[in-house]
Structure 1
Amino acid sequence: MSKATLIDTTYCIGCRSCQSTCKQWNDLPAEQTVLLGGDKGLQNPNTLTSSTFAVVTFDEVEDASAPGGLRYVSTKRQCMHCEEPACAAACPVTALHKTESGAVAYDASKCIGCRYCMWACPFGVPTAEWDSLAPKIQKCDMCVGRQAAVAPVERNGVALSAEERTRLAAAYATPACVKQCPAGALKYGDRDELLKEAHARIAASPSKYVDHVYGEHEVGGTNMLYLSPVPFEKLGFPMDLGTDPLPRRSAVALGAVPPAVIGVGAALGGVYALSKRKQEVKAKEGKAHEHHPEFAPVKQPFWTTANKLLAAVMAWGAISFVARFALGLGGSTNLSDTYAWGLWIVFDLVWIAVAAGAFATAGLIYVLQRKDLYSIGRSAVLMGLLSYSFVTVTLLADLGLPWHFWRLGTEAPHHSAMFEVSWCVGLYVTVLAFEFMPVPFERWGMKKAMDAWKRWSPWYVVGAVTLFVYLMSRNVLIAAGAAAVFSVLAYAFRTRPGEKPVPILLAIAAVTLSTMHQSSLGSLFLLMPDKLDHAWWSPVMPVYFFLSSIAAGLGLMVLVELWIAKAFKRQVRVAQLAALGKVAFWALAVYEAFRLGDLAVRGQLGHALTGPKAGLFLAEVVLGGLLPLVLLGAAKLRERPAVLGLASALATGGIVLNRMSVVVFAMNLKGAMPQDSAQPYLPSAVEWGVSLGLIAATIFLFGLAVRHMPVLPKEEPAQAANEPNAEQASA
């Protein structure tokens, strides 16, 4: 039976014996603190920290029935040990886990230092060791070590009686704070029995207590139960958490991933078969147009002024990256127990969203057979490969213990969005690498490598997808289903003798895996309805994260192609970019309609338009949504590069602002328990250095690649490059 602790604040005398005993039992170091004074009285320290697992709060509460009209309430605060803990659901390596005794325990040997638990916890309990070079998180574990201890069977050589052994065993299993309390304010026992006792106390003395056992129902119930003489909101307890366990919000979305992989893969295979058949019919009727441009390296000087500036920014980034590990996470960043995530997580969310152009163009070119866009396929894949590769570098910088990253391969968490995103992004990077391999093979005449790629790349996809589905489901039958579906696709779409190889299975895998991780990035925030403003938080965040990524990715690809034309003095491929703009228009329209419709259905549209974040919301929706829709909606405007570029920049900027709002601007962060001392956040020079350095490296390496490998099509005559053919015009 689950154990719990009943904390009756009417008995608490504020002696802080529990607080000091907790430090002693857990061997926690002392820390420099300051008496707060004022209405907080003797509260010291102000919040939980990595070396203070329990803190006694002091509150002066207006109460007409109390002498002088004021009641002084002291309350022990610590981890609530939720029945279904959000922190454990968030953890991608099961470092946090619920025990049978009711405690939420922590295994530091598994922790990778991602700090997702700190944002997932609705009570602000986990804190980080910011002064450590390898910062782990810390929290109360309800003294699970005491529960595992073996009670003595003798004293001074004399065997103990059965009654004495039972009493000592119970004393050993009791948390240190409970055992030390001199006033009887803390009681440890079976949760159900303690709930009965709590309600009995309320019934016996209704004038002494408010009729509320805090923790009985909050977020599905907790193993710390409270009685109070005053309403709990006056003691700073969060009252807007609801009664549904937070992990159930993300479990539904993440549980759908394995079948979704199979379904999306099969659907894309069907769409490709139909598109291919349509092209074959057109070919027989003489209406098909082949679009197989030749690709070649761009012959231009490399060390331009722009590239020298990029190299300087990269040097700043490299120095910042070294400083991150030399100074530690706390010493090199301005992250805190309030802002456990900062600029680097914003960078990752933004970069993953805008890098979606790689999977979007792969889907258009190969699955939908939009061969008129073939000439931009290689640049899209290269940009995606570089972007995602540097996203992983940023993640390594952000992790407190990146050398524990291998734990992601050995642990089996239940419905952790971070686990899903980590594996999905990692596998997607390998798919992007496979998609790009023919470019260097072609450049350096590696025929044997090219033949091996043609033969084995589809089967690599089968293996990668099967592994991913198994990791997400831990079900051999579901994984076998994924293997069967993708094996059928690999066989059905194999390259026949004399046919030009088409990387269709790589394209299907790219779209499938991107669909999963783009949506699961939204699932990361399903655990935070108490923190994220509800103009942004939604139970369907996974869907709108996915939809918005398509619009952002296509918008960025338009901007990249315009930059290529200017930087390398090439013709603007107006027809292809206008076609991309049209697809971006529909993607953005669907996203904005879905987003606004969701707000209306949830009754949050009025809040979004008039609430405290209304300006932020309107900037995102109007400037980043409605205005680019107007510009992209007219065919003649799409054919004007300046207008197309402006519309793409606005649309992409709107999605960028959305991701920044989700992580920073629209977050209502309250800091560590008791959540009344939130700290501000401004990125440090190291944070900016790493982020800008990686952006510079992406641009720098892209320019290096196009100068040495056949990434861009050979330049066409100006007139031909700007005149759409019949098929392009109909697009």
Structure 2
Amino acid sequence: MSKSYLIDTTNCVGCRACQTACKQWKDMPGEQTVLNPTTRNFQNPTTLSSKTLTVVQFHELEDDKAPGGLRTVFAKRQCMHCEEPACASACPVTAIHKTGEGAVAYDASKCIGCRYCMWACPWGVPMAEWDSLAPKISKCDMCHERFQFEAPAEFNGQALSAEDAKQLAAMNSLPACVKTCPAGALKFGEREELLKEAKERIRQSPGKYVDHVYGEHEAGGTNVLYLASVPFTKLGFPEVGTEPYPKYSKVALGAVPPAVIGVGAVLGGAYALQKRKAEVAKEALAAKPAAAAAEAHDHHPHFERLDKKLWTPANLLLAALMAFGGVSFLARFALGLGGATHLSDTYAWGLWIVFDLVWIAVAAGAFATAGLIYVAQRKDLYSIGRSAVLMGLLSYSFVTVTLLADLGLPWHFYQLGLQAPEHSAMFEVSWCVGLYVTILLLEFLPVPFERWGLAKAAETWRKYAPVYVVGALSVFVYLLSRKVIWSALALVVFGFLAWTFRQPKGKKPEPIMLAIAAVTFSTMHQSSLGSLMLLMPDKLNHLWWSPVIPVLFFLSSIAAGLGLVILVEMWIAKAWNRTLRVKQLAAMGQVTFWALLVYLVARFADVAVRGELAGVGANPKGALFLVEVVVGGLLPLALLSQKSLREKPGVLGLAAFLTTGGIVLNRMSVVLFAMTLKGPMPQIAAASYSPSVFEWGISVGLIAATIFLFGLGARLMPVLPAEEKSH
């Protein structure tokens, strides 16, 4: 049985005693309030905030029978305490959690300050302490600490009888707002009993109430139930459907453990098949010495360091931008999240989350290239591999820096290792991205080993890198499932692959297990970034929101990543006056074509099946959708469709730019452009958002650092293929 409120708005007189009692019990500070011209009434404060956990909302409704033709209806607004709360489902560290009594409570000692709960809640309830250097979340917790009230042995100097003690305990076990209400508008008790009472009131007074108990079915049911004399839409209550918001995220996150094992097994089988085909082709070439020599030359190029001056005007500019980024990063912690950004209870996420979603998508070229070269045995693309992995390593490393700046309480990061949320996409992404960074590092380590002749380190890497892969994937499966059976199965599958594909000593190692891990981890976190949005069907336009958005995010990342790899290779050739490897880039363009085609087919099929495609013209975001899929999808698809076009550098570069740009626009739309945010409860005062100078400073500084460090790495280590002597 769950504890619940029954709020009868027909009895509320707007005295706001509940607001005062809440503030007093929770020791909340007062707020500077002003009359809001948009509401034209005396409601104050206008919305919930970190200083106000409940607010009485005023509604002036037309009524010919009322004096002046207007009737005032009051409604107490607070956390709805959902039966299946989206905020608790979102939280990666169980800081927000459902108690046994039915309350949705908050534990600040666990919170990392990601603010995902604020975006997940359909009613806009969780609020952040933006004026604090350590901003915590604030929300009503049903005064659940009062539930266990024990009556004292004496009261006013007199011993209490058992009956008096029981009565006193019952009176003081109520939430502060309920205990204070003088008009009988609030009642507290067991949910099923209050539902029966609410329906009985409607039955006995059909002219007094609308036949609807708000909260009985909304979002799967809530522990705050409302009665009203007018439809709830007139009181500003949102229509949130009857399905619990975590419904789809449960399915998506529940599929991760078997998906990890399945994807790894498929990749291992594909590698074994392609390896055998490559060996047969090699045997056929052996009979043709000239062809075999040309093949070996193309597929196994030598690598060299870039012989260029470091401190060029361009690099000096990058250094200045990096310095500004560093200052902005320091300002973020000196001024606090609220002081350094323009984030608010409406826009709890902003530029940095857009930046992360975009950067992770376009950095997918690292795993896509590794999969092509090693799993698919596309050795003709080998010369691109090192630069793709270095760019991926830098990109993902700096994504973690952005996350550090964006978290309100980053020093609680260790809670990600202690807590076990049931189905939090943020938890999955955090662990998956963190482990993938280590895989990228292991993939790149042979390059510095080669540069500085670290033979023993290289041998250690050869022996133990597969062991680390097996352990990392097995631990990840356990963290997502919390079931030993799934973890043991992962250990068996990946252990078998590592043993089967073990590299004999003395032979040049092929890091197939690292490639399998890279593709597997990336498949999981690229899709789970889409799972973040499954809790926001009320906010994200349905041309973008979809039950299959995790699949769409994964498919689109492949196209975006390959497009960026092509652009990076062209930038390398242009900036450093190197030979443009048109043959390899055209081959990469062909793979990009198929990746983009699969994504676009899935994208159009999704919106068509859900009935959204037919209404694109009437959709307020329809033009944005058309720009994304036509300019960033169909047009580059046409440019990449023919070999003759792909072999023209200008056409290939334009196609890669449009492909990557289309996916970038998709991610920006998902977080900002296609979102409709109403602000904190009662969602009548949404704020606007534009990034602050410090938000831009950190973002631009990290991009500059990535470009600068890539160039530095190419100068220090053999990252780029050796140029022909005649060049």
What range is the shorter-chain TM-score in?
over 0.9
Q: Do structure 1's residue 494 and structure 2's residue 494 form an aligned pair?
A: no
Q: What does 1:613-652 align with in structure 2 at a 5 Å threshold?
A: 613-652=621-660
Report the equivalent of 1:709.
717
Equivalence for 2:53: 53
Work out the CA distance in 2 between the residues paired with 1:111 and 1:63.
47
Residues 1:454 and 2:486 are matched in the alignment = no
Distance change in 2, residues 1:40/1:249 (3 Å): farther
CA distance in structure 2 between the partners assigned to 1:142 and 1:259 by the alignment: 38
Matches of 2:659 and 2:498, distance apart in 1: 36
Work out the CA distance in 2 between the residues paired with 1:80 and 1:352: 35
- Preserved contact between residue 89 and residue 415 of structure 1 (Cα < 8 Å): yes
Separation of aligned partners in 2, 1:310 and 1:609? 43
Tell me by how many angstroms 1:155 deviates: 2.3
Deviation of 1:294 after TM superposition, in Å, equals 0.9
Q: How does 1:320-469 map to 2 (within 5 A)?
A: 320-469=328-477
1:75 and 2:72 correspond: no
SS at match of 2:285: coil
SS in 1 for 2:714: helix
Distance across 2 between alignment mates of 1:301 and 1:408:
43
SS of equivalent to 2:616: helix
- Show the counterpart of 1:656: 664
SS at match of 2:422: coil
Q: Which residue of 1 aligns with 2:289?
A: none
- 1:181 paired with 2:189, answer no
Matches within 5 A, 1:219-234: 219-234=219-234
Q: Output the CA distance in 2 between the equivalents of 1:25 and 1:178.
A: 12
**Distance (whole Å) between structure 1 residues aligned to residue 248 and residue 482 of structure 2:** 20
Deviation at 1:544, TM superposition (A): 0.2
What SS does the corresponding residue of 2:345 show, helix, strand or coil? coil
Could you tell me how far 1:248 is from its partner in structure 2?
1.3
> Is 689-698 or 157-166 further displaced after alignment?
157-166
CA distance in 1, matches of 2:486, 2:331: 45
AA partner of residue 271 (structure 2) = Y
Counterpart Cα distance in 1 of 2:235 and 2:209: 14
Q: Distance in 1 between matches of 2:542 and 2:278?
A: 46
2: distance between equivalents of 1:639 and 1:226? 66
Q: CA, structure 1 residues 652+627, in 2 after alignment: closer, same or farther (shift >3 Å)?
A: same
Q: Which residue of 2 aligns with 1:595?
A: 603
SS at match of 2:61: strand
Residue 515 of structure 1: which of 510, 523, 547 is its match?
A: 523
The structure 1 segments of at least 4 consecutive aligned residues displaced by more than 6 Å after TM superposition are none
C-alpha separation in 2, matches of 1:62 and 1:243 = 29
Query: Match for 1:73: what amino acid?
Result: V
In 1, are the aligned partners of 2:347 and 2:687 still within 8 Å (CA)? Answer: yes
Q: Which amino acid aligns with 1:602?
A: R
1:259 pairs with 2:268: no
Q: Deviations over 1:513-554 (max 9, x none)?
A: 000000000000000000000011001000000000000000
- Report the counterpart of residue 727 of structure 1 in structure 2: none
Q: How far apart, CA to CA, are the structure 1 residues paired with 2:38 and 2:710?
A: 59
Quick check: 1:265–1:509 contact (8 Å CA) kept in 2? yes
Structure 1 residues 187 and 708: alpha-carbon distance in aligned structure 2, compared to 1, 3 A threshold: same
Q: Is the 8 A contact 1:40 1:59 kept in 2?
A: no
Q: Give the superposition deviation at 1:568.
A: 1.4
1:718 Cα deviation after fit:
6.9
Give 1:97-136 correspondences, 5 Å limit.
Answer: 97-136=97-136
Quick one: distance in 2 between partners of 1:279 and 1:149? 74
1:40 Cα shift? Answer: 4.2
Amino acid at match of 1:578: A
Residues 83-123 of structure 1, C-alpha deviations (whole Å, 9 max, x = no match): 00000000000000001111001001111110000000000
Aligned to 2:618: 610
**TM-aligned CA deviation for residue 341 of structure 1:** 0.2
AA of the residue aligned to 1:189: G
Does the CA contact (< 8 Å) of 1:112 and 1:402 recur in 2? yes
Kindly indicate whether the alpha-carbon contact (under 8 Å) linking 1:571 and 1:718 is maintained by their aligned counterparts in 2.
no
Secondary structure class of the residue paired with 2:629: helix
**CA drift at 1:70:** 2.5
After TM superposition, the structure 1 stretch with the greater mean CA deviation from structure 2, 68-77 or 88-97, is 68-77
Match of 1:722 in 2: none
Q: CA deviation at 1:249?
A: 1.3
Native 8 Å contact 1:609 1:618 kept in 2: no
Deviations 1:178-208 (A, max 9, x none): 0000000000001000000001111111111
CA deviation profile, 1:564-593 (whole Å, cap 9, x unmatched): 101111100001000110000110111011
Measured after TM superposition, the shift of residue 466 of structure 1 is 0.8
Could you tell me which runs of 5 or more consecutive residues in structure 2 were left unpaired when the two chains were aligned.
287-291
Asked if the contact 2:172/2:179 (under 8 Å) is kept, the reply is: no
Secondary structure, in 3 states, of the residue corresponding to 1:483? Answer: helix
What is the rounded CA distance, in whole Å, between the counterparts of 1:65 and 1:596 in structure 2? 53
Q: Secondary structure at the match of 1:633?
A: coil
Q: Provide the C-alpha distance between the structure 1 equivalents of 2:407 and 2:203, rounded to a whole number of angstroms.
A: 50
Deviations 1:678-698 (A, max 9, x none): 100000000000000000000
**How far has the Cα of 1:65 moved from its partner?**
5.2
Q: Helix, strand or coil for the counterpart of 2:4?
A: strand
Question: Which deviates the most, 502-511 or 605-614?
Answer: 605-614
- The superposition leaves residues 388-440 of structure 1 with CA deviations (integer Å, 9 ceiling, x where unpaired) of 00000000000001101111010000100000000000000000000000000
Spell out, residue by residue over 1:601-651, the C-alpha distance to the aligned partner (whole angstroms, 9 max, x if none): 000012334311122111111110010001011110100111101000000
Q: Is the 8 A contact 1:40 1:57 kept in 2?
A: no
The residue that corresponds to 1:308 in the other structure is 316
Contact 1:40 1:58 (8 Å CA) reproduced: no
Per the alignment, residue 274 of structure 2 pairs with 275
CA distance in 2 between partners of 1:709 and 1:164 (Å)? 81
Counterpart-to-counterpart distance in 2, 1:704 and 1:251: 44
Inter-partner Cα distance in structure 2 for 1:369 and 1:350:
28
Match of 1:538 in 2: 546
Question: Helix, strand or coil: the match of 2:324?
Answer: helix
AA at the equivalent of 1:493: F
1:497 offset after TM fit, Å?
Answer: 3.6
Please state whether the residue corresponding to 1:477 is helix, strand or coil. helix
2:203 corresponds to = 203
Mapped partners of 1:615, 1:421: distance in 2? 31
Contact map agreement 1:535 1:607 (CA 8 A) in 2: no
Confirm whether residue 472 of structure 1 aligns to residue 469 of structure 2: no
Q: Which amino acid aligns with 1:147?
A: F
Q: Which residue of 2 aligns with 1:28?
A: 28
- The aligned residue for residue 682 of structure 1 is 690
1:200 corresponds to which letter in structure 2? E
SS at match of 1:606: coil
Instruction: Provide the rounded CA distance (Å) in 2 between the counterparts of 1:701 and 1:645.
Output: 23
Letter in 1 for 2:48: L
SS in 2 for 1:605: coil
Kindly indicate whether the alpha-carbon contact (under 8 Å) linking 2:350 and 2:691 is maintained by their aligned counterparts in 1.
yes
Q: In the alignment, residue 478 of structure 2 is paired with which amino acid? A: Y
Q: What is the Cα deviation at residue 39 of structure 1?
A: 4.7
Residue number in structure 2 paired with 1:250: 249
| Post-superposition offset of 1:37 | 5.8
The whole-number CA distance in structure 2 between the counterparts of 1:494 and 1:668 is: 52
Distance across 1 between alignment mates of 2:529 and 2:39: 41
Q: Distance in 2 between matches of 1:674 and 1:476?
A: 44
Q: Tell me the distance in 1 between the aligned counterparts of 2:571 and 2:705.
A: 16
The 1-side partners of 2:95 and 2:28 are apart by 20
1:262-292: CA deviation from partner (whole Å, max 9, x where unpaired): 0000000000000000011111112763311
SS of equivalent residue, structure 2 residue 507: coil
SS state of the match for residue 517, structure 2?
helix
Hey, what's the Cα distance between the residues in 2 that align with 1:99 and 1:439? 52
**CA distance in 2: counterparts of 1:270 and 1:394, whole angstroms:** 37
Correspondence for 1:554 among 545, 550, 562: 562
Rounded to whole Å, the distance in 1 between the matches of 2:346 and 2:35 is: 21
Looking at structure 2, the residues matched to 309 and 236 of structure 1 have their Cα atoms a distance apart, in angstroms, of: 52
Question: In the alignment, which residue of structure 1 is the partner of 2:140?
Answer: 140
**1:86 aligned residue:** 86
Shift of 1:38: 7.0
Shift of 1:35: 2.3
